[in-house]
Amino acid sequence: MENEIPPVPGKRGPWLGEQWEVLDWGRLPQFECAIEGCVVDAAQLMEEIKEQPMISQAIWGGGQTLLHVAAGEGHRELVELLLRLGADVNAYCPEGTPLHYAVGGGSAEVLKLLVEAGSDLNRQECRGRTPVDLARNPAHNHAFVKYLISVGAVPNESSTAETVQYMKNDGMWDAIPDNLFLGPFSPNWRTDTVLALVRHMRESQNFSAMPILGDALQDAGCDNTDVLNHCRDASAPHVRGYWVVDLVLGKE
């Protein structure tokens, strides 16, 4: 056919038969970046998906999907769009499901979205690790460990069970709030002062400036009482996955 889009070399994959070749690749630069494993411009990629919705179902590299990539980079709005368009929440590749990727992505909101969308909490990736195993190792995200177990996840590695027992014996388990999610965080609150404070705390692992960070966030217009109270509470746990520091740096 005269108007048929020719096949694109290197773009064949186990996805919807011949539809892989009929995409308008010239209008999908961000999708091509995603196939390589990263999202350069999430907003533009969302526009590409809306224009050519079939790419929300794309599969490549042995089972990887856009939902894997979006979850792995913590792009909440992109994950929401893909789920609305029917992306498979349990799509599987050797590295696991989108939930495995979300653990590494560090976004509590994305993690919760995938769990509530019906993610298999106990699916194992190629090395036998479930999402909660990955939360323990290598990410050591103790807040994610508690959340996943609270919604029904079962560790497959003995080291994860040992970590849970350590958290309980050390008092860390009870110290981590049941409400893992501090709520929306506006990019407008990331002023130069706020960023300087959190980068210093992240690098030094000294969180004594948290009350100062609370003041800086409030000066920047932050009205999220959970965030402000967390900064000003000297007893608040600064475990990985629940730091306001992570929120400021984009790991919401």
CATH code at position 85: 1.25.40.20
Alpha-carbon 35 to chain mean position = 17
Output 85-88 pairs: Cβ under 8 A, ≥24 positions apart.
85/49, 85/53, 85/56, 85/57, 86/56, 86/57, 87/56, 87/57, 88/57
Domain of residue 162: give its range: 121-181
CA 248 – CA 189 distance, rounded (Å)? 8
Alpha-carbon 18 to chain mean position = 31
Query: What percentage of the chain exceeds 90 in pLDDT?
Result: 35
Q: Which band of pLDDT confidence, cut at 50, 70 and 90, is reported for residue 135?
A: confident
The answer, as to whether pTM is greater than 0.85, is no
CA end-to-end span of the chain? 48
Given 71, 105, 139, which residue is the final one in a domain?
105
Q: Which band of pLDDT confidence, cut at 50, 70 and 90, is reported for residue 118?
A: very high
Residue in the structure block whose two tokens are 């609270």: 150
Shared domain check, 128 and 41? no
| Predicted pLDDT of residue 92 | 93
Rg (CA), the chain: 20
pLDDT over 60 (residue 199): yes
Query: What percentage of the chain exceeds 70 in pLDDT?
Result: 79
Structure tokens that stand for 205 in this block: 């692992």
Given 105, 137, 159, which residue is the final one in a domain?
105
